[in-house]
Structures are given as structure tokens and as C-alpha cells.
Structure 1
Amino acid sequence: MKTIVYMVRHAESSYTEGTERTRGLTLEGKLNAAKITEILKGEGIHFVISSPHARAVLTLEGLAAELELDIQIMEDLRERHFSDDMIADEEFEPAAKRMFEDPDYTLPGGESNTVCQNRAVVVFKQILEEYKGKKVAIGTHGHVMTLMMNYFDSSYGLDFMNQTKKPDIYRLQFEEMELEQVTRLWGENRVIGGSIEKECDVV
């Protein structure tokens, strides 16, 4: 029995210190969120779930309205907490690289890859069990999405995360708890976990 999960990385959101949970979408982000709705509205999605962060919820708000579904908020799907300290732009990439090299490395007050992955995967497995055989859209973020996918297939790491976009969509096909195939639906529609499909622009 196949379970399909659509990982929807949130659309563009302007970063402002101290607004991690509340910042919304830019104008471009809102336009792309509407495109997300167009891409996914015909997929037969049964449930819409999201990180509690506003930018993830807002990215799927139009889709949920189109499908007449409520968005279920799950706290442990939130983006990883990087640090209690302000991180300069030039420090972010080296820190992220070290985190993927050493899953237990943390910045002051932040979460390691291991801690973030563990708390998110618990919820993700619950989703796979509760909605077995269904199609579920999840509003998510770059780091936590990558770490959840990495749990099922270790090839998803820093290089994968760095090539994802805001927004982005990955269709994950599961048989029970086994990830069988991953297909990107934003930009070029192609299988990235299996054989390559014919590419076609969808946005």
C-alpha cells in the first residue's frame, strides 16, 4: 500500500531577527504559493499538515482552501533551531557544513542534526502510520526536510539541501516505512530516487 508525502518547502520569506515563527511571505513568495496550489490541487491529496512557522503554513494555505481541508499544525515539524546567537551570513554555510559532517555538532543553544532529525522523524513516522495509503502534503523547511529525507536515504545531505529552492516540492513514495522513490515537482519534474523521467517545466 503506497503512501505519498508531498514535502513542500516554504516560499520566499524575508528574514528578520526574532521573527522565526511569525515571518510571512514576500510578494514573490505569495505568487509562488499560488503556483504550488495549481501544481498540487489535482494530486488527490487527502490531508495537509505543516510546521507551525507562519511561512510554511502560508505556503499551503491556498491549497488547503482549494481542497477544503484544514491545515494540521505539528510542532515537531518546525525548522531546526540553529543558535541562540545571531549568525552572520558569512558564518552560516561553514556552520551548516560542519553540522552535516558532525551530526552532533551544535552552535550555542542550537539543535544538532541528530536532535532535529530525531524529533522530526518521530512525527513523520506517525504520519506514515496514521495516513497509510493516503496522500499528505507537508509544509516544511530546508534543513528539517533534508534531515527527514536523510533518515530514510542517507544520500540526502548538504548538497541536496543547497540545491533546493524556495519554494520546492518533492513527492515521496513510501511502501510502509521504506522510501521507494522521490520525484521533484517544482521546476523540472524528474525522479531523483530511481530512473530519470522525461523532464518538463511546471512553473
Structure 2
Amino acid sequence: MLYLIRHGQTEWNKKKLIQGQRNIGLDEQGMKQAQQVARFLKNEGIEKLYSSDLTRAYDTAAAIATASGINNIETCERLRERSFGQLEGKPVASLRDLVPNYDTNWGSEALYDMEALEVIQERLLKRLTEIMEESKGRKVAVVSHGAIINTFIHYVTNGEHGTGKTALQNTSITTFIYEDQKWKLQTLNNHSHLI
């Protein structure tokens, strides 16, 4: 089983600024959320933990590691958020104005040096498949980012959920079963630990 977790809140999330691959840390609320998701996952029996190499994801993973008694977090650049190129640091609202189809532009050129949806989907799919192939029979947690997680959800559900359709909450947990080289969505955007 794979637990795919979005990082906790940052100041830029709160201000609705595009983070992309900028290395923004958790704010006070984000640190609290990281502790909440860590407590929620404590007794799930997670054996391996992976994280994007960006601070907001790593610090969320570190809280989970501490609560679950996991000694090692493997970081990976391929688990990073989508690069939003020249638009990083700008208001999210401007993204809709400049690139109205930024979250539905499958098969078309990404503007402003943004990574294309296919590119981020492929890098996440490949890395998650490698992780699960290496971890047969184990429960694995991966902490990553909203836009890239949504492309994976889009892939697994054939576009029913994910990119352009699902607003993932900070520290939400989406779970998948990986069996016989096939992915199956189990739970989507669970953030009950924040209520």
C-alpha cells in the first residue's frame, strides 16, 4: 500500500502564491498539520518513507518519521512539485489569467517555462512504481506536492479525479494499492486528521 501525502501549509500557500520548486518551508499552521498527520499515521505500520527534497515536504515527512519510529527518509528530486517556471512567486490568480488551461493542458505546450503535465506525471509514475517494486508487501509513505500528486491521481483514475478536478488539502492522504504492476485508488484526499 502507498500513502501519498501532500506537505503541510506554507506562508505562500496562505498568501496564494505559486510555489512550484521554490524551497519554501512550513509555516506555524503547516507544522501543526504535520504533527496531526504524523499522529494519524503512527499506527498504520508504515515501513518506508520517501519525500521530495524540498523543505516543506521533508519537514512533513520528518514529523511522520518521528511519530512512526522510522529512522530514514529517502529524498528524491523526482518527487518535487511541478516547475511553474517564470510564474513561481506570482499570485495563483495570475496563473489562471496567463495560462487558463494550466491544469488541463494535456498534450499541449507548457508556457512560461512551466513543466508540461505529461512530464511531471511520467516522472512521478516512474518513481512511485520503482518505490513499490522495491518495497513489495510493505506499507510505504511518500510526501510530495499538490500539483504533481494530482497528475498521478489523474493517471490512476483515467481522469475521473486529480488534475483539474481535485483540490488536495495540505497533509491530505491519498492511498493506493499496487498489485500485479497495476495501480488502484483506495482513498482520496483524506484530511479527517485536521478536523
Could you say which TM-score interval applies, normalised by the shorter chain? 0.7 to 0.9
SS in 2 for 1:158: coil
Name the amino acid aligned to 1:73: T
Q: Is the 8 A contact 2:152 2:162 kept in 1?
A: no
- Correspondence 1:90 to 2:58: no
Counterpart in 2 of 1:14? 11
SS in 2 for 1:157: coil
SS in 1 for 2:29: helix
Match of 1:74 among 76, 82, 85: 76
Match of 2:108 among 89, 104, 108: 104
The CA distance in 2 between the partners of 1:58 and 1:88, in whole Å, is: 24
Identity of aligned residues (%): 25
Count matched residues: 187
1:159 Cα deviation after fit: 4.3
1:20 Cα deviation after fit: 4.0
| Equivalence map 1:105-184=2 (5 Å) | 105-154=109-158, 155-162=160-167, 164-184=168-188
1:181 Cα deviation after fit: 3.5
Counterpart in 1 of 2:34? 33
Name the amino acid aligned to 2:152: M
Q: Is the 8 A contact 1:98 1:105 kept in 2?
A: no
TM-score by length of 1: 0.81
1:88 Cα deviation after fit: 3.6
Give the unaligned 5+ runs of structure 1. 189-200
- Correspondence 1:187 to 2:195: no
- Taking structure 1 as reference, are residues 118 and 111 closer, same or farther at Cα in structure 2, changes over 3 Å only? same
TM-score by length of 2: 0.84
1:133 Cα deviation after fit: 1.3
Moved more, 148-157 or 15-24: 15-24
Moved more, 81-90 or 70-79: 81-90
- Taking structure 1 as reference, are residues 93 and 85 closer, same or farther at Cα in structure 2, changes over 3 Å only? closer
SS in 1 for 2:142: strand
- Taking structure 1 as reference, are residues 63 and 96 closer, same or farther at Cα in structure 2, changes over 3 Å only? farther
Name the amino acid aligned to 2:83: H
Deviations 1:64-103 (A, max 9, x none): 1232321100111100101224544322235363441434
Give the unaligned 5+ runs of structure 2. none
SS in 2 for 1:100: coil
Q: Cα RMSD between the aligned structures?
A: 2.4
